[in-house]
Structure 1
C-alpha cells in the first residue's frame, strides 16, 4: 500500500481545526476547564466542524492501520508496535501534561487554594474524587486511549478470524459501500445510535460507559480500515464529493439556524429532533466530501508535509493544557474578547511548536511525545502511513 498524502493533509487540517475549536471552548457557554468572557454565537461557527472532526480522525486512523497491520504481517506484532507508540505518550501525558488542566479548573471554579506543585504532589494522584473531578485524568487524551483500544480489538479480530471470513467481510463492504448507500447507510447508523440505541445519551470519554462514542467512532475506524482496500469505494467518494459537500453545507446551515433561533438547549419540540438529525447528516456527508476531495485534489506530497505530519501528535498532546493555562493567565487582565482570542491562538501555536521542536531534538524525550525513538531520513521522506 502506498502512502495516501491526501489523508495526511486531512489529518493535519483536522488537528489544526481542533486547536481552534478548543480555543473556542474557552469562550462558549459549554463546560470547559477554563473560561474567559465570551458570547453564545461563538458556538455557531464551532458547529461547522463539531459533528465530523473526530469521526474523520478515526476514519484516517483506521485507513493507516490497514497498512501497518499488513506491514507487520502478524497481529501481535502490530498490537505491540501500536501499544508502544500510543501508551507511552498517553501515560506521559496523564502524568505530566494533563495535570495543569484540573488544577486550573479546581482553582477557578471550586476555590482550590493550593499551588500547582502541591496539587501535583498531593492531590492529583489520589485515584479518588477531588471536588467534582476524579483524578488522575486523561481529559483530551481520551482519543489516544480509545484509539489504542480499537487497535487492540482490530488486532484480536485479525488473529481469530480466518482468512476466508476477512475476505468475505471486505467483499461485503466493497459491495455495500457504493452508490447512495455510501451516504445513506452511515447516516442511518448515526441516527439509530442517537435516537434508538442511546436516546438522549452523551459522550462521557470515560471508556467503560461511553457507548455513544464507541458505537459512533469504532465503526468509523473500521470504515477507514476497510476503505484502504476498497478502491471502488474510494472512487465513489471522489465522484460524489461535490454532492456530499452540498448536503453537508445545507445540513450545517440548518444546524446553525436552529442554534441562532434557540441558543443552547432551549429549542422546543420538534426542533431538537431536527437539530440532531441535521447534525447526523452533516457529520457523515462532511467526512465523505473531505475524503473524496482529498483523494482527488490533495494526494500529492510537499516538502512541509513530513514535518507537519510528525508534529501532529506532539501538538495534540500539549495544545489543550497550553490553552487552559494561558486562559488562566489572561483572565485577570480583563482584555477584550478579540485580544484574548488572538493571544490564545498565537501563544498556543507557538507553545506547540516549542514543545515539538524541543522534544524532537532530545532523544530520550522523543517516545514520550509520540515520536519514533531515533530520527531518520523518514523525517524528510516518510513512506509509512501517519497514525497516532
Structure 2
C-alpha cells in the first residue's frame, strides 16, 4: 500500500488540535484534572466544533494504518509481537513515569489531598485503590493507547481466523457510494441519541460501552476502507455534501447549547435533537476531512516525516505538561488570555524537547513509541495514529 500523505497530514492536524483542546479544557466548565481560576465558558462553543469527531478520526486513521502494517506482516504472530511492543511499552512507561503527576494535581486542587507529590507517588499511586473516586494507578489520557492495542489484537485474531480469506468485497457492497456516509451516521445517531443518551466514557477499558460503541466501528471501518477503491471514489463525490451537513448539524448543536448551557438539561425534544445532531456532525466531518485530505493534502513536504514521527511522543507527554504547568500558574492569577498563551507555548516547547531528546537516546526510543533502531523516516507505508513505521 502506497503512503497516503493526506492521511498523514490529517493525523498530524488531529493531534495538534488535541493539544489545543486539552489546554482549552482548563477553562471550560467540564471536568478536567486542573481548572483555571479564571474560567472562560464561551470556549466550549468552538470546542464543540471538533469534539464530536476528533477521536473518531484518530481511530479511523489507526484502522487504516493497521491494514498497511498487517499486509506487510502476513505472519500474524509477528504482527502481534510488533504491535504489542510498540504500544504496551510506551503505555507502561507512561503510567509509571509520565502520568502520576496528573492525579496528584487533581487530588490536591479539587479534593483536598494534603501530601506532596513524592508522598503521593511512594505511598498512594501504586496502592491499586481509589482516592476520591479516582482509581490508582491510572493511564489518564493514555487510555487511547490501551484501546488501540485491544482493537489491534481483535484485528489480529480475525486475520488468523480468516487465514488469508478477504471480506473486502462485503465491505464494498455494504459501504459503496453514499452508504459509507449513511450507515455510520445512523450508527452514531443511534449511539448518541438512543443507546447511550447522556452517557459518559469511563476509559476503564472494561464496561466502557459508550467508548467501544463509538471507537471500535470507526477503527474497523478504517481497516476495511484502506483496501477500498470504491470507498475512496465515494468519499471524493460525497465530501462537499458531508461538509455542509457537518456545519449545519454543528449549528444546531451550538443553538441548543446556547439556549441550555453547561449542565442544564434541554426539554424534549431538544435533548434528542442535540444528541442526533452530534452524531450527524461527527461522521459527516470524518467523510469531509478524508475527502479534503485525499483531494488537497496527498503530497509530501519536508516537515511531514519529522512531524509524523513526533506525534506519538507528543501525545505521551502533552497532557502532563499542561496539567503540571497550569498547577504552577494557578497562584499567579494571570489573565485568561495570557495564561492560555503560556500554556500553549510551554506545552509545544516541552513536547518538542521530549521528542528531540528521546529520539537520540537509544534505550529511550521504545519508551516514547519510536523504533529502537533503524531509519527514522521510512519512505513508504502509512503510520499508526500513535507511531511511525
TM-score scaled to structure 1, two decimals?
A: 0.96
Q: Kindly indicate whether the alpha-carbon contact (under 8 Å) linking 2:242 and 2:284 is maintained by their aligned counterparts in 1.
A: yes
Q: Kindly indicate whether the alpha-carbon contact (under 8 Å) linking 1:89 and 1:368 is maintained by their aligned counterparts in 2.
A: yes
Shift of 1:197: 3.2
For 1:257, the equivalent position in structure 2 comes to: 255
Q: Kindly indicate whether the alpha-carbon contact (under 8 Å) linking 1:190 and 1:280 is maintained by their aligned counterparts in 2.
A: yes
Secondary structure in 2 matching 1:361: coil
Shift of 1:384: 2.9
Shift of 1:79: 1.0
Distance 2:195 2:164 in 1: 32
For 1:382, the equivalent position in structure 2 comes to: 379
1:356 aligns with 2:327: no
Over the aligned positions, Cα root-mean-square deviation in angstroms equals 1.2
Q: Which piece of structure 1 moves more, 257-266 or 270-279?
A: 257-266
CA deviation profile, 1:161-199 (whole Å, cap 9, x unmatched): 2444xx2x3112112212321211001111222344334
Distance 2:197 2:334 in 1: 41
Shift of 1:361: 1.2
For 2:32, the equivalent position in structure 1 comes to: 32
1:274 aligns with 2:269: no
For 2:336, the equivalent position in structure 1 comes to: 337
Distance 1:367 1:243 in 2: 42
Shift of 1:119: 1.2
1:120 aligns with 2:117: no
Distance 1:99 1:72 in 2: 36
Q: Which piece of structure 1 moves more, 178-187 or 214-223?
A: 178-187
Structure 1 unaligned spans of 5+: none
CA deviation profile, 1:21-80 (whole Å, cap 9, x unmatched): 000100000000000021221100000000001010000000010010010112111111
1:18 aligns with 2:18: yes
Which among 235, 238, 241 is matched to residue 236 of structure 2? 238
Distance 1:49 1:224 in 2: 19
Secondary structure in 2 matching 1:364: coil
For 2:196, the equivalent position in structure 1 comes to: 198
For 1:327, the equivalent position in structure 2 comes to: 326
Distance 1:346 1:162 in 2: 49
Number of residue pairs matched by the alignment: 383
For 1:9, the equivalent position in structure 2 comes to: 9
1:57 aligns with 2:54: no
Shift of 1:272: 0.9
Distance 1:201 1:157 in 2: 29
Q: Kindly indicate whether the alpha-carbon contact (under 8 Å) linking 1:40 and 1:263 is maintained by their aligned counterparts in 2.
A: no
- Runs (4+) off by over 4 Å: none
Superposed, 1:61-140 pairs within 5 Å as: 61-140=62-141
Superposed, 1:308-323 pairs within 5 Å as: 308-323=307-322
CA deviation profile, 1:281-334 (whole Å, cap 9, x unmatched): 000000000001111111111110010000000000000010001111111000
Q: Kindly indicate whether the alpha-carbon contact (under 8 Å) linking 2:87 and 2:145 is maintained by their aligned counterparts in 1.
A: yes
TM-score scaled to structure 2, two decimals?
A: 0.96
For 1:294, the equivalent position in structure 2 comes to: 293
For 1:222, the equivalent position in structure 2 comes to: 220
Which among 186, 189, 209 is matched to residue 188 of structure 1? 186
Q: Kindly indicate whether the alpha-carbon contact (under 8 Å) linking 2:21 and 2:47 is maintained by their aligned counterparts in 1.
A: yes
Shift of 1:375: 4.7
Distance 1:151 1:312 in 2: 19
Structure 2 unaligned spans of 5+: none
Higher helix content, 1 or 2: 1
Q: Kindly indicate whether the alpha-carbon contact (under 8 Å) linking 1:10 and 1:294 is maintained by their aligned counterparts in 2.
A: yes
Q: Cα gap change, 1:129/1:363 in structure 2, threshold over 3 Å: closer, same or farther? A: same
Q: Kindly indicate whether the alpha-carbon contact (under 8 Å) linking 1:41 and 1:260 is maintained by their aligned counterparts in 2.
A: no
Q: Kindly indicate whether the alpha-carbon contact (under 8 Å) linking 2:189 and 2:277 is maintained by their aligned counterparts in 1.
A: no
Shift of 1:146: 0.1
Q: Kindly indicate whether the alpha-carbon contact (under 8 Å) linking 2:40 and 2:336 is maintained by their aligned counterparts in 1.
A: no
Q: Kindly indicate whether the alpha-carbon contact (under 8 Å) linking 1:60 and 1:221 is maintained by their aligned counterparts in 2.
A: yes
Distance 2:246 2:296 in 1: 19
